Amino acid sequence: MFSFYAIIKEELILKSEEDGDIWEHKFRGQPFTTIHRHTELEVNLVVSGTASYLLEGTRYELRANSLVWLFPEQNHILVDQSADYLMWIGVFKPELVNRLCVNPANAVLAELNPLGNFCKQLDTTRSYRLGALFKELQEGRADTSRYNVGLGYLMLLAWDAFQASNQFVSSTVIHPAVKQAIQVIQHVDASIGVQDLANRVGLSVSRLSHLFKEQTGLSLIEFQNNHCLKRFLELHDDEPSITMLDAALQAGFGSYPQFYRVFKRLTGQNPAQYFRNYSATPADHWS
């Protein structure tokens, strides 16, 4: 299965005997979301509501019947989910993808970061058929052999539906300064001040703040907190002996109280509750 903590770690916890996983993602009111990627090919089918993906410098607007392919080397983050947002998620292990995607019509699915737009709108009939298959597989996954065959069929059927559509979802190229700001926060200094960040990307604070919120759905502070929390969890997992205070400071938080407030706001739990619940039982599926 696939846990909330696992997706933050960019590592899907999949059963060894299964060729992938499927689940239903519902917006649960928590603002927590992180930029992530994983070694598995992923497909999303939107059932209801609206949301946006930030993917490789472009924002894609999702609605019912949107079909999205996400490849192993593509960082992505789901933002601006409406209260009724619901989608199916399927992930496929590289072994399955490489075994089935061997002809020119579907070989692109075996690539790590192909060029192009892989977000389209399906017609209602194809979307309903795919959704029904997701549901059937989820209900019958106790039979591993049938489930694995079904995963392969689902992947190929979803690709056929994607190719049959001529309608791409609405998209907007992210402003270069916003993209640069994201890269600075992620790879240079997660705790950089807004003024210093604005100076680095060549915009005023007000202009950068407005653009960032408009194009990502998150304020600069929200995005920084999001990234710092992701980094904290990575440190906590990679270095079991590290204290929470040291991990919080190394992750970019200015103090433990700041870390505690952000952690509780984004996860709905304090750190002790979160790690106790995680160790006791995997959390529900998130994206």
Residue 197: per-residue pLDDT:
96
Residue 101: per-residue pLDDT:
97
Number of domains within the chain:
2
The residue range of the domain holding 112 is 4-172
Cβ atoms of 25 and 285 closer than 8 Å = yes
Using pLDDT thresholds of 50, 70 and 90, give the confidence band for residue 285.
very low
Residue 175 CA to residue 160 CA, distance in Å, equals 33
Residues 98, 193 within the same domain:
no
Of 121, 154, 172, which residue sits at a domain end?
Answer: 172
Residue 287: per-residue pLDDT:
46
Residue 58 CA to residue 206 CA, distance in Å, equals 22
Residue 283: per-residue pLDDT:
37
3-state secondary structure of 202: coil
Residue 221 CA to residue 234 CA, distance in Å, equals 20
258: pLDDT strictly greater than 90: yes
CATH number of residue 209's parent domain: 1.10.10.60
* pLDDT digit string, tens, across residues 48-97: 999 999 887 889 999 999 999 999 988 888 888 898 999 999 999 999 99
DSSP string, 61-129: EE-TTEEEEE-TT--EEEE---TT-EEEEEEE-HHHHHHH--STTTGGGG-SS-SS--EEEPPHHHHHH
* pLDDT digit string, tens, across residues 205-235: 999 999 999 888 889 998 898 889 888 988 8
Residue 29: per-residue pLDDT:
61
Closest CA to 155 of 239, 209, 90: 90
